[in-house]
Amino acid sequence: MKDPLQFYNNTKPVLDEIVMIRYDDIAENCVYVTLLEYNIKGIIIFKELSKRRLRKRNLRQAAPIGKFAPAIVCDEAEDEDSNISLTRKRLTDDEVKQFTEKYRKNRKIISIMENLGYFAQKKIQEMFTMIAHPLDKQYIEDEEYDTLYDFLEEKFDDFSYLDFLNLDNEILEKFKELIIKNFSKASEKIQTKMAIVSNTIEGINLTKQILTKYENENPDFLFYLEKAPYYIIEKTSDDVNNDQKRMDSIATSIGEFISSKQGNFKVIN
C-alpha cells in the first residue's frame, strides 16, 4: 500500500483473522510488524515465525524487513497502546493461497480509491470513509460476498447500490467510470484443436456431417479445417469458463460420434 490506511470498517482484526503484515524491525525476542489493512502495529515472537526451528542468524531470512506476508491474529490487543500478537506457524498452504488472492482483490479496490481520490483531490482514507466503508457495512459484512471486490465485480453495471451514499455527482460519475473500466469483462479467444481420422469410405462426409450439425446448433462457435486431419472449434468469449465447458462438451460429443463410426479422434490441446 502506498499510503497507510484503514481498509475495513473495523479498527482492528478479530481473533484468528488472517491479515497482511509488513516486517518492520527485529527486536531482542520478537519481530515488530504493521498490519497493513488496519494500519496498526503488531508483534510476532520468534517461535511463531515459522514451523521450522529458527536460529538467530536466520531471522532476517525468515522476517525480511520491508517484505509483506500473511499472518494469523492469535491474541487481540487489550487497549489501543498494546500490540496485537500474530503467528505464521499455524498458516496452511491453502490459507496462504486463498488469502493472497483476497489481498490481491483488496489491492484492486485500493487502486480504484487512489484514482478517485486523485480526481476529487481528497486523501485515499477519505474515499474509503465516504464509499468503501459504507458499502462494506451495507453489503459485505453479513452477505454472501467475501470481499468488496467480489460485490463490485457482480454489480458493476447496476449502480443502484450507490443510491444511499448521496455522493457528489462528479465523484459519483467518476466512481462509475472507474468501476466499468476495472470490471468490464475483456473478451478472450478460446479454441479446441481436434484430430479426426475416419477409416471408412464415407469418412470425410461423416466428419463434415458432424461438424455441420454442431455448427448449426452452436452458431456462436466457429468450426473449421486447419489442415487435415486437424479441425478447430473457436470462439471469442466474454464468459470463458462457461464457453470452455460448452466447447469441451461439443468436442466430447464429436469424439463419441467419430468413434462409433470406427474413426479415430483426439483433442490436441
> CATH number of the domain that 21 lies in?
2.40.50.140
Answer positive or negative: Cα dihedral of 8, 105, 36, 172: negative
Q: Is residue 135 part of a domain?
A: yes
**Cα distance between residue 160 and residue 158, in whole Å:** 6
pLDDT tens digits, one per residue of 52-84: 777 776 787 888 899 999 999 998 665 566 789
* pLDDT at residue 78, as a whole number: 58
Q: What is the mean pLDDT of the chain?
A: 87
Q: Is residue 2 part of a domain?
A: no
* pLDDT at residue 116, as a whole number: 94
Q: Is residue 60 part of a domain?
A: yes
Instruction: Based on the fold, state whether residues 208 and 173 are members of the same structural domain.
Output: no
**Cα distance between residue 161 and residue 138, in whole Å:** 9
What is the residue-wise DSSP string for 134-191?
HHIIIIITTSS-SSHHHHHHHHTT-GGGGGGG---HHHHHHHHHHHHHHHSPPPEEEE
Q: Is residue 11 part of a domain?
A: no
Q: Is residue 4 part of a domain?
A: no
* pLDDT at residue 81, as a whole number: 65
Domain ranges, residue 213? 188-268
Instruction: Based on the fold, state whether residues 83 and 100 are members of the same structural domain.
Output: no
Q: How many domains does the chain have?
A: 3
Instruction: Based on the fold, state whether residues 165 and 217 are members of the same structural domain.
Output: no
Instruction: Based on the fold, state whether residues 263 and 195 are members of the same structural domain.
Output: yes
Instruction: Based on the fold, state whether residues 201 and 231 are members of the same structural domain.
Output: yes
Select from 131, 132, 239 the least CA-distant residue to 187. 239
> CATH number of the domain that 239 lies in?
3.30.70.1130
Give the residue-averaged pLDDT of 88-105: 92
Give the residue-averaged pLDDT of 3-23: 88
Mark which of 140, 156, 183 sits at the end of a domain. Answer: 183
> CATH number of the domain that 178 lies in?
1.10.150.190
Mark which of 60, 90, 120 sits at the end of a domain. Answer: 90
- pLDDT band of residue 42 (cuts 50, 70, 90) is very high
Between 1 and 104, the more confident residue is 104
Mark which of 46, 69, 90 sits at the end of a domain. Answer: 90
Instruction: Based on the fold, state whether residues 75 and 100 are members of the same structural domain.
Output: no
Q: Is residue 6 part of a domain?
A: no
Indicate whether 47 pLDDT > 80: yes
* pLDDT at residue 2, as a whole number: 53
Share of the chain above pLDDT 70, in %: 93
Q: Is residue 10 part of a domain?
A: no
Instruction: Based on the fold, state whether residues 193 and 258 are members of the same structural domain.
Output: yes
* pLDDT at residue 121, as a whole number: 94
Strand, helix or coil for residue 49 = coil
Give the residue-averaged pLDDT of 111-136: 93
* pLDDT at residue 261, as a whole number: 82
Q: pTM for the complete prediction?
A: 0.66
Indicate whether 1 pLDDT > 50: no
Instruction: Based on the fold, state whether residues 122 and 178 are members of the same structural domain.
Output: yes
Strand, helix or coil for residue 47 = helix
